[in-house]
Chain A
Amino acid sequence: GESVGLHLPTLSVQEGDNSIINCAYSNSASDYFIWYKQESGKGPQFIIDIRSNMDKRQGQRVTVLLNKTVKHLSLQIAATQPGDSAVYFCAEKMGGTALIFGKGTTLSVSS
Protein backbone atom coordinates (compact mmCIF):
# COMPACT_ATOMS: atom_id res chain seq x y z
CA GLY A 1 0.00 0.00 0.00
CA GLU A 2 0.96 3.67 -0.20
CA SER A 3 2.31 5.59 2.73
CA VAL A 4 1.30 8.97 1.36
CA GLY A 5 -2.23 9.78 0.34
CA LEU A 6 -4.32 12.78 -0.56
CA HIS A 7 -7.72 13.65 0.75
CA LEU A 8 -9.28 14.75 -2.52
CA PRO A 9 -8.49 13.60 -6.04
CA THR A 10 -9.80 16.84 -7.56
CA LEU A 11 -10.17 20.46 -6.50
CA SER A 12 -11.90 23.19 -8.50
CA VAL A 13 -11.46 26.86 -7.66
CA GLN A 14 -12.09 30.25 -9.18
CA GLU A 15 -9.24 32.44 -10.33
CA GLY A 16 -8.10 34.66 -7.47
CA ASP A 17 -9.27 32.29 -4.74
CA ASN A 18 -6.88 30.65 -2.33
CA SER A 19 -6.40 26.90 -2.80
CA ILE A 20 -5.61 24.33 -0.14
CA ILE A 21 -4.44 20.88 -1.14
CA ASN A 22 -4.18 18.31 1.61
CA CYS A 23 -2.06 15.25 2.09
CA ALA A 24 -1.97 12.62 4.82
CA TYR A 25 1.13 10.56 5.45
CA SER A 26 1.44 7.39 7.48
CA ASN A 27 5.13 7.12 8.37
CA SER A 28 5.75 9.10 11.54
CA ALA A 29 9.49 8.67 11.01
CA SER A 30 9.47 10.63 7.75
CA ASP A 31 11.64 13.71 8.11
CA TYR A 32 11.33 15.43 4.76
CA PHE A 33 8.31 16.36 2.69
CA ILE A 34 8.00 17.93 -0.71
CA TRP A 35 5.30 19.19 -3.04
CA TYR A 36 5.52 18.80 -6.80
CA LYS A 37 3.36 20.24 -9.57
CA GLN A 38 2.89 18.20 -12.72
CA GLU A 39 1.36 19.68 -15.85
CA SER A 40 0.06 17.50 -18.62
CA GLY A 41 2.87 15.96 -20.63
CA LYS A 42 5.60 17.20 -18.31
CA GLY A 43 7.65 15.86 -15.45
CA PRO A 44 6.99 16.85 -11.83
CA GLN A 45 8.19 20.35 -10.99
CA PHE A 46 9.50 21.21 -7.52
CA ILE A 47 7.31 23.69 -5.65
CA ILE A 48 8.35 23.73 -2.02
CA ASP A 49 9.71 21.43 0.65
CA ILE A 50 9.80 21.25 4.42
CA ARG A 51 11.75 19.30 6.98
CA SER A 52 10.13 17.69 10.00
CA ASN A 53 11.68 20.19 12.41
CA MET A 54 9.50 22.92 10.90
CA ASP A 55 5.76 23.53 10.96
CA LYS A 56 5.48 26.07 8.19
CA ARG A 57 7.43 27.27 5.22
CA GLN A 58 6.56 29.97 2.76
CA GLY A 59 7.51 30.54 -0.82
CA GLN A 60 6.22 32.78 -3.53
CA ARG A 61 2.41 32.49 -3.32
CA VAL A 62 2.75 29.04 -1.73
CA THR A 63 2.86 27.91 1.86
CA VAL A 64 3.41 24.39 3.17
CA LEU A 65 2.09 23.44 6.59
CA LEU A 66 3.17 20.33 8.45
CA ASN A 67 1.21 18.90 11.36
CA LYS A 68 3.19 16.01 12.74
CA THR A 69 0.64 15.27 15.45
CA VAL A 70 -1.93 14.13 12.91
CA LYS A 71 0.55 13.40 10.13
CA HIS A 72 -0.91 15.95 7.79
CA LEU A 73 0.67 18.11 5.13
CA SER A 74 -0.98 20.89 3.18
CA LEU A 75 -0.12 23.18 0.32
CA GLN A 76 -1.72 26.59 0.21
CA ILE A 77 -1.69 28.57 -3.02
CA ALA A 78 -2.61 32.23 -2.73
CA ALA A 79 -4.48 34.04 -5.48
CA THR A 80 -4.75 30.94 -7.64
CA GLN A 81 -4.18 31.52 -11.34
CA PRO A 82 -5.18 29.48 -14.40
CA GLY A 83 -1.51 28.56 -14.78
CA ASP A 84 -1.71 26.77 -11.46
CA SER A 85 -3.97 24.14 -13.00
CA ALA A 86 -2.09 20.85 -12.74
CA VAL A 87 -1.77 17.68 -10.69
CA TYR A 88 -0.13 18.23 -7.31
CA PHE A 89 1.77 15.47 -5.55
CA CYS A 90 3.08 15.36 -2.04
CA ALA A 91 5.96 13.05 -1.26
CA GLU A 92 7.71 11.95 1.91
CA LYS A 93 11.15 10.66 2.71
CA MET A 94 12.88 9.19 5.73
CA GLY A 95 16.61 9.63 5.93
CA GLY A 96 18.36 8.24 2.89
CA THR A 97 15.38 6.33 1.57
CA ALA A 98 13.56 7.09 -1.64
CA LEU A 99 10.76 9.60 -2.03
CA ILE A 100 7.33 8.04 -1.74
CA PHE A 101 4.64 9.82 -3.71
CA GLY A 102 0.91 9.94 -3.23
CA LYS A 103 -1.65 9.69 -6.01
CA GLY A 104 -2.05 13.39 -6.63
CA THR A 105 -4.75 16.04 -6.57
CA THR A 106 -5.90 17.62 -9.81
CA LEU A 107 -6.38 21.38 -9.38
CA SER A 108 -8.64 23.08 -11.89
CA VAL A 109 -8.75 26.86 -11.96
CA SER A 110 -11.53 28.57 -13.85
CA SER A 111 -11.49 32.19 -14.99
Chain B
Amino acid sequence: EAGVVQSPRYKIIEKKQPVAFWCNPISGHNTLYWYRQNLGQGPELLIRYENEEAVDDSQLPKDRFSAERLKGVDSTLKIQPAELGDSAVYLCASSVSGTRRSETQYFGPGTRLLVL
Protein backbone atom coordinates (compact mmCIF):
# COMPACT_ATOMS: atom_id res chain seq x y z
CA GLU B 1 0.00 0.00 0.00
CA ALA B 2 1.39 3.39 -0.95
CA GLY B 3 1.87 5.85 1.85
CA VAL B 4 1.08 9.53 1.99
CA VAL B 5 2.69 11.31 -0.94
CA GLN B 6 3.86 14.91 -0.78
CA SER B 7 5.48 17.21 -3.28
CA PRO B 8 7.74 18.98 -3.66
CA ARG B 9 10.15 17.53 -1.12
CA TYR B 10 12.15 20.75 -0.93
CA LYS B 11 11.38 24.34 -1.78
CA ILE B 12 13.50 27.46 -1.53
CA ILE B 13 11.84 30.79 -2.18
CA GLU B 14 12.39 34.44 -1.44
CA LYS B 15 10.20 36.17 1.07
CA LYS B 16 6.96 37.63 -0.23
CA GLN B 17 6.75 34.96 -2.91
CA PRO B 18 3.89 32.44 -3.02
CA VAL B 19 4.38 28.74 -2.50
CA ALA B 20 2.14 25.68 -2.70
CA PHE B 21 2.41 22.16 -1.33
CA TRP B 22 0.54 19.12 -2.54
CA CYS B 23 -0.56 16.00 -0.67
CA ASN B 24 -2.08 12.71 -1.77
CA PRO B 25 -3.33 10.70 1.24
CA ILE B 26 -3.44 6.96 1.65
CA SER B 27 -6.20 5.47 -0.49
CA GLY B 28 -9.45 5.27 1.45
CA HIS B 29 -8.38 7.72 4.16
CA ASN B 30 -11.04 10.37 4.40
CA THR B 31 -9.35 12.50 7.06
CA LEU B 32 -6.41 14.65 6.02
CA TYR B 33 -4.18 16.85 8.15
CA TRP B 34 -1.61 19.52 7.48
CA TYR B 35 1.02 20.10 10.14
CA ARG B 36 3.96 22.45 10.45
CA GLN B 37 7.10 21.28 12.15
CA ASN B 38 9.74 23.78 13.23
CA LEU B 39 13.29 22.66 13.81
CA GLY B 40 13.61 20.64 16.99
CA GLN B 41 9.89 20.72 17.69
CA GLY B 42 6.97 18.36 17.33
CA PRO B 43 4.42 18.84 14.54
CA GLU B 44 1.68 21.39 15.10
CA LEU B 45 -1.69 21.07 13.41
CA LEU B 46 -2.62 23.70 10.83
CA ILE B 47 -5.83 22.25 9.43
CA ARG B 48 -7.85 19.04 9.44
CA TYR B 49 -10.24 17.87 6.74
CA GLU B 50 -13.03 15.34 6.96
CA ASN B 51 -13.62 14.57 3.30
CA GLU B 52 -13.96 17.99 1.64
CA GLU B 53 -14.83 19.87 4.82
CA ALA B 54 -12.28 21.72 6.92
CA VAL B 55 -13.40 20.76 10.44
CA ASP B 56 -10.52 22.34 12.35
CA ASP B 57 -8.63 25.30 10.95
CA SER B 58 -8.28 27.25 14.17
CA GLN B 59 -4.46 27.21 13.98
CA LEU B 60 -4.22 28.18 10.33
CA PRO B 61 -2.91 31.76 9.85
CA LYS B 62 -5.68 32.74 7.49
CA ASP B 63 -4.16 36.05 6.45
CA ARG B 64 -1.53 34.25 4.39
CA PHE B 65 -2.30 30.53 4.48
CA SER B 66 -5.03 28.75 2.57
CA ALA B 67 -5.85 25.12 1.91
CA GLU B 68 -8.27 23.16 -0.18
CA ARG B 69 -9.38 19.60 -0.68
CA LEU B 70 -11.88 19.94 -3.48
CA LYS B 71 -12.73 16.31 -4.24
CA GLY B 72 -12.05 14.89 -0.80
CA VAL B 73 -8.80 13.24 -1.83
CA ASP B 74 -5.77 15.37 -2.73
CA SER B 75 -5.09 18.60 -0.91
CA THR B 76 -3.01 21.70 -1.45
CA LEU B 77 -1.67 24.13 1.12
CA LYS B 78 -0.68 27.58 -0.04
CA ILE B 79 1.24 30.44 1.53
CA GLN B 80 1.02 33.89 0.01
CA PRO B 81 3.09 35.86 0.69
CA ALA B 82 5.73 33.78 2.45
CA GLU B 83 7.65 35.23 5.39
CA LEU B 84 11.01 34.27 6.83
CA GLY B 85 9.29 32.67 9.82
CA ASP B 86 7.44 30.26 7.55
CA SER B 87 10.61 28.23 7.04
CA ALA B 88 9.73 24.80 8.40
CA VAL B 89 8.74 21.29 7.35
CA TYR B 90 5.13 21.00 6.22
CA LEU B 91 3.74 17.56 6.89
CA CYS B 92 0.62 15.95 5.54
CA ALA B 93 -1.02 13.05 7.35
CA SER B 94 -4.13 10.96 6.80
CA SER B 95 -6.34 8.62 8.76
CA VAL B 96 -9.62 6.75 8.50
CA SER B 97 -12.35 8.39 10.56
CA GLY B 98 -15.27 6.57 12.08
CA THR B 99 -13.30 3.47 13.07
CA ARG B 100 -11.55 2.33 16.20
CA ARG B 101 -8.24 2.96 14.45
CA SER B 102 -9.21 6.45 13.40
CA GLU B 103 -6.74 8.08 15.71
CA THR B 104 -3.75 6.58 13.92
CA GLN B 105 -2.38 9.21 11.60
CA TYR B 106 0.09 8.25 8.92
CA PHE B 107 2.49 10.94 7.81
CA GLY B 108 4.08 11.77 4.51
CA PRO B 109 7.78 12.69 4.15
CA GLY B 110 7.07 16.40 4.34
CA THR B 111 8.04 19.44 2.29
CA ARG B 112 11.03 21.34 3.58
CA LEU B 113 10.51 25.05 2.98
CA LEU B 114 13.25 27.61 3.24
CA VAL B 115 12.30 31.26 2.89
CA LEU B 116 15.20 33.60 2.16
Give CA–CA (A21, B26) in the complex, Å. Answer: 29
Residues of chain A at interface, number, CB under 8 A: 22
> Which one of B11-19, B71-79, B80-88, B101-109 contacts A?
B101-109
Answer whether A43 and B42 are a contact pair too, CB < 8 Å, given A32-B103, A98-B48: no
Is B103 in contact with A49, judged by CB distance below 8 angstroms?
yes
Kindly supply a per-residue 1/0 record for chain B positions 28-64, scoring 1 wherever the CB is within 8 Å of any chain A CB and 0 otherwise: 0000010000001111110010000000100000000
Give CA–CA (A93, B110) in the complex, Å. Answer: 22
Is B4 in contact with A43, judged by CB distance below 8 angstroms?
yes
Give CA–CA (A32, B102) in the complex, Å. Answer: 11
Is A49 in contact with B42, judged by CB distance below 8 angstroms?
no
> Which one of A11-19, A58-66, A77-85, A99-107 contacts B?
A99-107
Chain A residues with CB below 8 A from B105, complex form: 34, 46, 99
Give CA–CA (A89, B56) in the complex, Å. Answer: 22
Chain B residues with CB below 8 A from A75, complex form: none
Report which of A2, A34, A41, A97 forms a contact with B104, defined as CB distance below 8 A. A34
Q: Could you say which of A43, A91, A99 has the most chain B C-beta atoms within 10 Å of its C-beta? A: A43
Tell me if B96 counts as interface (CB < 8 A to partner A). Answer: no
Q: How far is the CB of B58 from chain A (nearest CB, A)?
A: 9
Is A43 in contact with B56, judged by CB distance below 8 angstroms?
no
Report which of B42, B48, B109 forms a contact with A102, defined as CB distance below 8 A. B42
Q: Which residues of A contact B (CB under 8 A)?
A: 2, 4, 32, 34, 36, 41-46, 49, 89, 91, 93, 97-99, 101-104
Q: Which residues of B contact A (CB under 8 A)?
A: 4, 33, 40-45, 48, 56, 91, 93, 103-110
A-B pairs with lowest CB-CB distance, top 4: A101-B42, A43-B107, A98-B45, A44-B107
